Amino acid sequence: MDTQYFSLQVAAANGVLPRVVGLCQRRGCEVVALTYANGDRHRPGRMELAVRGDARRLRLLSMRLAALVDVEMA
């Protein structure tokens, strides 16, 4: 099992935190660390995420995270 770290900018939209965590779980990856700071109208939110899984699942997760509308890979 490998661990991959993601640094994300997230929109201040409702539900972005459960969407990201749910995506990780649906892709069969385990969230091992999560730091979240909610954004406001002046700056985006931040999410630091450590996820554990096999290389294939982590690669698919990375592509799916990049495709989310409210998420930008930093």
Q: What is the pLDDT along the chain (74 residues), one digit of tens a residue?
A: 899 999 999 987 778 899 999 999 999 999 999 999 988 888 889 999 999 999 999 999 999 999 998 899 98
Return the sign of the alpha-carbon dihedral for residues 65, 55, 7, 36.
Answer: positive
Token pair recorded at residue 5? 């770290």
Domain segments of the chain: what residues? 2-73
| Cross-strand partners of 45 | 10
Within its chain, how far is the Cα of 69 from the centroid?
12
pTM confidence score = 0.88
Scanning the structure block, which residue is given the tokens 């965590």? 21
CATH topology of domain 2-73: Alpha-Beta Plaits (3.30.70)
| Strand spans (E) along the chain | 2-10, 30-37, 45-53, 71-73
Q: How far apart are CA 44 and CA 30, in angstroms?
A: 25
